[in-house]
Amino acid sequence: MKSRKGRQMDFIRLTPEQRKSFEADGFLVVPNALQPQTVQALVEAGDRLAESFLKKPPVLNRPEYNHLDLRPGILREEALFALIDHPSTVPLIVQLLSPNIHLHSTTLIYKRPENPDATPFRRGWHRDIRIPRDLGHHNLPLVGIKVCYCLTDFHQPDSGMTVMARGTHVRPEPLAIPKGQVDPVGVEVCDIRLNAGDALFFENRIFHTAAPNRSDRVSKVLIYGYAYRWMKPEVYLEVPDRRYLEKADPIVRQLLGGYVDVDTPPWALQRWSRRYNACAEAPPWTVDV
């Protein structure tokens, strides 16, 4: 793992159209977020991590054999580590959330082709981070955004891309799914067409689900979740030790939880975003009257 100290994350301004679209839909497509050579390096790294899964003989009728959702060990691969502060996506996340964020989860999802007539496996509509389990569906807060990097094309329906229910991030109630069916009614279910290298951002409140891969190729994505620093990272996120973090690039250090507690200001991204006038200042505790 290279610490890349001294290298600064470039700035890309979130456009008003991107913000509007993200706020209306609960998701946002960022085309060409990754260069073709980066996609290639990520596929090589992902294939190494998925080697035993990819070597399994085809079992078309057992969809559960065909889905890999791998979380531990992702950051041990250099190409995957380098995505932590990727300059075409993380600046947009900072502008959509705030500088006070860290990496919350990393997942490699591979889906092998499955029987097109089989019942969809893991069709499980949900909102992320389980907040509604405690707070209900009313007035849920936006606390995190996932970036789904496409490592393969998703040009056909049911080709393995995570499916979104547009606009449901503000829905104050559960989804309504007719008995015997797998998808909700009264909402727009979006199986988005994407190219390898595109990134799909989706926020924690949007209802989404895994979808089957009925194509004839393995579908491959990496999903990196960013959340406010007061959200505990997923247990599978393996963070390098403190000695490494002390030498790391300051933004990477912050994103990997390198500050002792949440009362320590998010120095690295705060300085970075002030330099570009990228984010509103945090509200004060008190005001003069």
Ligand X SMILES: O=C(O)CCC(=O)C(=O)O
Interface with ligand X by CB under 6 A: which residues? Answer: 107, 109, 128, 146, 162, 208, 210, 223
What is the distance between the alpha carbons of residues 281 and 14, in angstroms, rounded to a whole number?
Answer: 17
Angle subtended at Cα 214 by Cα 212 and Cα 216, rounded to the nearest 5 degrees: 135
Comparing CB distances to ligand X, the nearer of 143 and 278 is 143
Helix (H, G, I), strand (E, B) or coil at 74: helix
Please report how close the Cβ of residue 8 comes to ligand X at its closest, in angstroms. 29
Instruction: Give strand ranges (E) for the chain.
Output: 27-30, 67-70, 101-111, 144-150, 163-165, 189-190, 199-203, 208-209, 219-228
Cβ atoms of residues 201 and 27 within 8 Å: yes
What is the distance between the alpha carbons of residues 216 and 146, in angstroms, rounded to a whole number?
Answer: 27
Please report how close the Cβ of residue 247 comes to ligand X at its closest, in angstroms. 31
Of the candidates 169, 172, 171, 110, the one whose C-alpha atom is nearest the C-alpha of residue 144 is 169
Helix (H, G, I), strand (E, B) or coil at 178: coil
What is the distance between the alpha carbons of residues 156 and 191, in angstroms, rounded to a whole number?
Answer: 9
The DSSP 8-state label assigned to residue 152 in this structure reads S
